Amino acid sequence: MEKILQLESGELFRKIVRKIIEPRGYEVIATNNSIEAFSILKENRISLIITGNELNDMSGEDFIKLLNTRSYLNIPVIVLTSTDSLELRTRLFSLGIVDYLLKKDVKSSNLENYFDSLIKEDTLIKQIQKENIAVLDDSKFGLNVIKNIFELHKIRNVTYYTDPHQFLADYDKYSIFLVDLVLPEISGEEVIIQLRKKKKDSVIIVVSGMTNFKTISHAMMYGADDYISKPFDNSIFMARFKANARTYFLYKELEKRAVTDGLTGLYNHRYIYDYVGSHIKMKEKSACSFCVLLIDIDHFKLVNDTYGHQVGDLVLMTLSKIFADAFGNNAVCGRYGGEEFMAVLKNTKLEDGLKAVNAFREKIMVTEYPGQNFKITISGGLVEHSTETSAEIIKKADELLYKAKEGGRNQICS
């Protein structure tokens, strides 16, 4: 649990701040003096300091000055005070505080908004920790500086390179790149050009001691997303890094939504249809077998008419989850439309595909739905690809699905 140090002489405001912070998953350690505050800092890993400007033994301003002379310089500080003075604000911000809030505004949304933003930042860091990051710098000292900054934020999924050729050879492993401009044998600009050709949607950040505006503009023109100058300031470095990562994650989320069915989370009609065509082209190169499956929920209209569309949606979502899990990574599954679903079973011959699909069908037969007393069955058509186009193989699967329906439902025709 993240710990927050609060310095406040008034008991009322300690309670108010604790009431705001603790429900958001943080632990508050409070004191009214600087001596005890430094003792707390020594014994605990503190993520944030909230201080009033009137403590029992000194002013909040003097406490921050002391803080800046010790090893706690990187802990963000918020000042919470009754004094609304432009001169005081200016002095405190010049000391490096992250925010200045008036006590009269605490009961409004200011402090809540700050902690909600902090939670979002924590979520962002967790997302970054899942991405693979590559850093290229021919200086081991430069690499160590970046490594130390990342370590402070527990970002350890990073590979550090001094050789640009090895860096480019491994490009496919990563989604976020940091590149120095001055490199042996090959320029940083050339590395950026090659990276951008290969990884169109990745994040590329230049890290360099060069501050010439033309150099920076050329790096951006060649495909870099941002430029961070050396020597690094920890706060600025991470702020710029997180801003680029946030944009990248937003783009990936929008990209995902564009190809995903909103209700079931499976791929949508357009994506799954196009995937059949792309897999046919892949088969031409690798000669791998694959099958196309088209299924339909039996009497689904009756479910909607009898139990309502909310229950119908529950059936679709439940079936989709089982559908996606049934074939693991060996299939790409999508909602083809309404209560119809389609899957491409990769590296699968017809006989093996039929066994797997029937196992899935039997699982659907016994699936229960919370609060309901009915069971669902499915019908399907399964085709192994031979020489058909995407339209032709889907048409064959559809004809077999119709045959399964005509033959009494709850069966797979192949």
At residue 209, the pLDDT reads 82
Highest mean pLDDT out of 82-86, 100-104, 205-209, 298-302: 298-302
Residues 398 and 273 in one domain: yes
**103: closest CA among 229, 186, 3, 9?**
9
Domain end marker among 209, 233, 258: 258
Say how far apart CA 322 and CA 285 lie, in whole Å. 32
Domain end marker among 87, 121, 155: 121
Residues 323 and 342 in one domain: yes
Residues 114 and 145 in one domain: no
Q: Would you say residue 311 has pLDDT above 60?
A: yes
- Active-site positions read 339
Residues 297 and 393 in one domain: yes
Phi-psi region of 400 (alpha: psi -120 to 50; beta: other; left: phi over 0): alpha
Residue pair 241/123 in contact by the 8 Å Cβ criterion: no
pLDDT in tens, 84-130: 888 888 888 888 887 788 887 765 556 666 666 666 676 788 889 99
Mean pLDDT across the chain, nearest whole number? 89
Residues 273 and 225 in one domain: no
- Do the domain assignments include residue 92? yes
Residues 232 and 140 in one domain: yes
- Do the domain assignments include residue 264? no
Query: What CATH number corresponds to the domain at position 26?
Result: 3.40.50.2300
Residues 219 and 281 in one domain: no
> Domain residues for 133?
129-258
Q: What is the pTM of this model?
A: 0.61
- Do the domain assignments include residue 329? yes
Residues 71 and 185 in one domain: no
Residues 150 and 250 in one domain: yes
Domain end marker among 200, 223, 258: 258
Q: Tokens in use for 178?
A: 């940091």
Q: What angle do CA 328, 332, 334 make, to 5 degrees?
A: 120
- Do the domain assignments include residue 236? yes
Residue found under tokens 């505006």: 213
Residues 14 and 114 in one domain: yes
At residue 389, the pLDDT reads 93
pLDDT in tens, 6-26: 999 888 888 888 888 888 778
Residues 215 and 333 in one domain: no
- Number of domains into which the chain is organized: 3
